Structure 1
């Protein structure tokens, strides 16, 4: 049971220094009243401390970061029931403060505690406390979503692909039921039922209040755009500023989203292949039209025999595909991908295995963060399930057509039902268009050749929010303040600090 990569942790690249942005438009100090029955959660104050006990000993946190946990109800309909703790990180504003800027890298299931480095060297660092957070069930928040042990995760990654014949479909669906059962046993269904976007946006409002902000300023990437849009829908009167980069369209159903993403990854692969095949040493050859066939010739044998690695695990077929997709998230990794494919041509798989480990959250000591388990759990409560075998078969067929570089040749017109069909708790979200009344002007950033959240999704989200759209022409997933693109960064900083709308039709 392997899930195709969907959204990605944001690479925290240093942004270029920006100037200007000196107007203070702080909101009044008075906070909105807490919802009835939730006063004790809204009235708490974080106790900030060292981040060492939050996973900060490896110097991944920004300098001067401090961490805390706050309490929230597991079920907002039962505020007197069990509670969870949300992990927060903070880097204080260095100058005259507007308020807090809440940051989320996406996923779903990715830790956000190290996000406080975003905006370093810009006026955001002067004017905002930059706040990272781990959504409920994720990272340093408590409790955590837990499904597989490290040994089980390694074993799952090593599994060869199954044929889409009746026996293979039955085996894949049995694996899904087994995985779902382990999640239910190790996490608990009472908590699993309440880890979705519906609850996280309510947690975000508690975070806003405990930080002392009358309205929310927020920068979210990838799945973080879904959180931002859902917050805007539920609390439009509590929004000061939203920047949503690499958008998820809230109206897109899971099948349409997966096919749109398949086409996005094919576009990224084609872009990589066009660049690589210009080099006579390209592992895909020099004929761009033959690049997919050459790629399949490299990876298909792994289904029968993993490639050798210095790590005794070897490179499985599934890890090779995951590693390639990891590298396709940004053209910054295309040279690394070439190295990995060169190694594979020589029968070795170290670089692609490292890329797969990066995606799957495997640490050098063999332990894992809980990104993948959290991704599965959150996705399965956020979206409706595909329970019709005919729909699953059509989706598989159309996915292979949309992304031929990912087609292993095992398609039959039938396919196993995906993991969420076996999930032990009901979904709490459904695709729908949003139209938040009274929402102030917001900003959506969308990249023309984004593989994971294709450009059109940003266009559609901007239309639903009546947001300003910034278009970036490039090959990457997420750009604002993480890629050094000053045209984008200046507009985003000016908006967040001064609430100045980007120029209409801004394209960078």
Structure 2
């Protein structure tokens, strides 16, 4: 499973599943910057970008950033940028991040163009997507170089049963090998893919794009980028929109536990909808259907369902396939069809859903390095290494909080992170510990009441933490909501981004 369950924004209005899109043609390589590579902070801030046309009215460029902002003379990395120029008169740039860690803002803007924001925003801003350090077309985090090794990590089965110490021991061996490969193939960058370093990149990009203040749209984990930016550079905050907010004060374990409860809630909403139609695999009440789903997950490991390519379906991959289809109501019919195929003994659609989530292509290659970045950034940002409880103890807690899907999703998410980060070869980064962003201009924080990946309570908490936070609530389903055709949300956010108008109260859409 691609372990991005708490982080990746999938914005339905763009019809673009960033975690698993397969594009028909390769993207152009961004151009290089002109002149020598900077060796000090002033030089990086003073660099000039060279924009070249790269299709459909878009322009591409490459910026340089130091590997280590505390030692800018030690070397530089590339940051790939793509810009959709304003369709009208530009007020400036709007930097955009779709989530992660590991999501590609470059892909988001390149393949969405003008529709990566509403028409009003596209008219008034140059929309700029970039690949954060370590991601995609920027200088990459590289771990395994053979996709078969990645397959083994994401889909491989174990000799020992899940929930046993034998499984934990096998998992630890796998993650030690993975961490060693990341260290060998990535080098110094591996310890500098943290959010504070990305926030410093964002401020440098603000300057080289010619903006006095940062205008920013961040989804899901991209909200954490925006939050850390506001804390580090409060005087440079322009108009920030944080949709699908991450609460920066919640521990990694608690965040994943809350998230699993959110997915259980979203799954129950799916079941209620499914049971009202004629094609539902489940029967009875929602509680009955939830028990049937739990039974299916309990028993799938013993079935030995084998995909056409030889991969064997287990409960962890089935959980991935389910969760992949809970990010938006528009995916619920695919989930119904997946269960129907599984009932007929065909695991193909389940693997298709899991592969989409894992950015795995039909030929077995991987479309992105988002998995590698997710683990690397989580280990340098997070606090797993300091957790005194065992992995098995924490799995039991998640199972109690999310008794339908939670335990099975942990097998390829929490358990992996807990084990990997305990064996990670670089230390945790130095990150802010409070997030008031005193002196910052108003910041919009958007929360959806039944968001499965970033619970609504996180948005409420973040808006309260930020000294200038303004909560915008949407009552509904799905992960993130701006630019998905909900006028109550879009109009408020557009008025803020375009005109600087801050709503007097939460519109409670």
Structure 1 and Structure 2 fold alike (TM over 0.5): yes
Q: SS state of the match for residue 508, structure 2?
A: coil
Q: Provide the residue aligned with 2:157 in structure 1.
A: 160
Q: SS state of the match for residue 72, structure 1?
A: strand
| Cα displacement (A) at 1:134 | 0.3
Q: Provide the residue aligned with 1:495 in structure 2.
A: 496
Q: Provide the residue aligned with 2:35 in structure 1.
A: none
Q: Provide the residue aligned with 1:295 in structure 2.
A: 293
Distance 2:157 2:272 in 1: 30
Distance 1:243 1:8 in 2: 16
Q: Provide the residue aligned with 1:172 in structure 2.
A: 171
| Cα displacement (A) at 1:196 | 0.8
Distance 1:150 1:409 in 2: 24
Q: Provide the residue aligned with 1:69 in structure 2.
A: 62
Q: Provide the residue aligned with 1:38 in structure 2.
A: 41
Please report the RMSD computed on the Cα atoms of aligned residues, expressed in angstroms. Answer: 2.5
1:66-465 to 2 correspondences below 5 Å: 66-116=59-109, 117-120=114-117, 122-147=119-144, 149-160=146-157, 162-188=161-187, 190-313=188-311, 315-368=313-366, 369-387=368-386, 390-406=389-405, 417-429=418-430, 432-465=433-466
Contact 1:93/1:130 (8 A) holds in 2: yes
Runs of 4+ in 1 over 6 A off after TM superposition: none
Contact 1:41/1:72 (8 A) holds in 2: yes
Distance 1:205 1:415 in 2: 33
Q: Provide the residue aligned with 1:32 in structure 2.
A: none
Distance 1:431 1:421, change over 3 A: farther
Distance 1:211 1:430 in 2: 26
| Cα displacement (A) at 1:51 | 4.0
Q: SS state of the match for residue 404, structure 1?
A: coil
Distance 1:391 1:313 in 2: 30
TM-score (norm 2): 0.88
Determine whether 1:6 maps to 2:6.
Answer: yes
List gaps (5 residues or longer) in structure 2.
16-37
Contact 2:4/2:374 (8 A) holds in 1: no
Distance 2:344 2:301 in 1: 17
Distance 1:213 1:193 in 2: 29
C-alpha deviations, 1:4-42, integer Å up to 9, x for none? 722224336259xxxxxxxxxxxxxxxxxxx99412111
Q: SS state of the match for residue 13, structure 2?
A: coil
Distance 1:416 1:165 in 2: 17
Contact 2:144/2:178 (8 A) holds in 1: yes
| Cα displacement (A) at 1:385 | 2.6
Distance 1:4 1:396, change over 3 A: farther
Distance 1:332 1:245, change over 3 A: same
Contact 2:263/2:405 (8 A) holds in 1: no
TM-score (norm 1): 0.88
C-alpha deviations, 1:390-412, integer Å up to 9, x for none? 3534321110011112256999x
Q: SS state of the match for residue 219, structure 1?
A: strand
Distance 1:168 1:335 in 2: 34
Distance 1:312 1:505 in 2: 52
Distance 1:264 1:304, change over 3 A: same
Q: SS state of the match for residue 39, structure 1?
A: helix
Distance 1:71 1:408, change over 3 A: closer
Contact 1:307/1:348 (8 A) holds in 2: yes
C-alpha deviations, 1:104-152, integer Å up to 9, x for none? 0001111111333445551111110000010001000014433453111
